[in-house]
């Protein structure tokens, strides 16, 4: 579990393909690695990944095919900067919102407008995520806990303060940049809860079986 409060900006030092997966090595900058152990989780641009090797200056993780498919990792390259956050401890201050590190999809920056010291950013979310994004709700963008300030269909707007621009990779965004998105955890569970008994029904792709054919007049 994470809070979306970024501890450090690291950079990708190695990307080693291992079949359909990737072994990723990230060099840290100021993040304290003294309390990290093998098997710990570190959110890397919002993706919860398990540490398989580390030192005081780096950590390595395995990125699965599923993670590559659902996040921006397919487009990452050596030298790219990434937001870092270690998993929260029970004694930690909860500064952001509940972040699982399970990315729901990839969004795209469609406009950036400087307003005094603030930056207004509009992001296009995948259509499937639009229903989870609400004005004044929370969303995680590349691991950063942020407040949605406006919504227009599948697009949403963020107002970014100077501190966020300085302490995360958001300051380097450009129009067209792709970003990892995680919607609010409560919204995701609420949708499932509202399904009631229908949640137990199969969601097979075809939905066509003997019962379906009989109910629709194809079988006598």
**CB contact at 8 A, 83 and 169:** yes
CATH tag, 8-86: 2.40.30.20
Question: Which pair of structure tokens corresponds to residue 180?
Answer: 């990892």
What's the whole-number mean pLDDT along residues 44-60? Answer: 97
**CB contact at 8 A, 148 and 137:** yes
At 89 the pLDDT is: 73
Show me where the domains of the chain are located: 8-86, 105-196
Chain centre to alpha carbon of residue 176: 17
Question: Which pair of structure tokens corresponds to residue 106?
Answer: 């990839």
Burial profile 40-75: b = 16 or more Cβ within 10 angstroms, e = fewer:
ebbbbbbbbbebeebeeeebbbbbeeebbebbbbee
**CB contact at 8 A, 35 and 59:** no
CA nearest to 166, candidates 101, 92, 73, 83: 83
CATH tag, 105-196: 2.40.30.20
At 42 the pLDDT is: 97
Question: Which pair of structure tokens corresponds to residue 70?
Answer: 């659902």
Q: How confident is the model at residue 208 (pLDDT cuts 50, 70, 90)?
A: low
Asked, colleague to colleague, whether 8-86 and 105-196 share their fold, the answer is yes
At 47 the pLDDT is: 96
Question: What does the mean pLDDT of the chain come to?
Answer: 89
CA nearest to 83, candidates 158, 159, 172: 172
Does the pLDDT at position 177 exceed 60? yes
Query: Residue 78 has what DSSP assignment?
Result: T
Q: How confident is the model at residue 212 (pLDDT cuts 50, 70, 90)?
A: low
Instruction: Give the ranges where 3-120 is alpha helix by DSSP (H).
Output: 65-70
At 95 the pLDDT is: 66
Give bridge partners of residue 146 from the DSSP assignment: 139
Could you report the per-residue pLDDT of 75-101, keeping only the tens digit for each? 999 999 999 999 987 666 666 678 889
Could you report the per-residue pLDDT of 89-147, keeping only the tens digit for each? 766 666 667 888 999 999 999 999 999 899 999 999 999 999 999 999 999 999 999 99
Max CA pair span of the chain: 72
Question: Which pair of structure tokens corresponds to residue 75?
Answer: 């487009």
């Amino acid at each position: 579990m994470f809070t979306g409060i970024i501890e450090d900006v690291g950079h990708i030092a190695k990307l080693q393909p291992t079949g359909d997966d990737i072994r990723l090595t990230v060099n840290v900058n100021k993040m304290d690695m003294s309390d990290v152990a093998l098997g710990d989780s570190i959110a890397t641009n919002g993706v919860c990944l398990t540490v398989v090797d580390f030192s005081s200056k780096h950590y390595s993780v395995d990125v699965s095919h599923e993670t590559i498919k659902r996040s921006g990792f397919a487009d990452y390259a050596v030298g790219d900067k990434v937001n870092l956050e270690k998993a929260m401890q029970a004694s930690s201050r909860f500064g952001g919102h509940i972040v699982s590190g399970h990315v729901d999809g990839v969004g795209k920056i469609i406009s950036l407008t400087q307003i005094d010291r603030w930056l207004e950013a509009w992001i296009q979310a995948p259509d499937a995520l639009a229903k989870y994004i609400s004005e004044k709700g929370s969303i995680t963008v590349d691991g950063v806990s942020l407040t949605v300030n406006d919504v227009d269909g599948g697009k949403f707007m963020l107002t970014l303060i100077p501190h966020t621009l300085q302490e995360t990779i958001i300051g380097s965004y450009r129009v067209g940049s792709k970003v990892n998105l995680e919607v609010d955890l409560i919204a995701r569970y609420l949708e499932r809860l509202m399904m009631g008994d229908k949640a137990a029904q199969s969601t097979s792709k075809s939905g066509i079986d003997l019962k379906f054919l009989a109910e629709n007049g194809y079988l006598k």
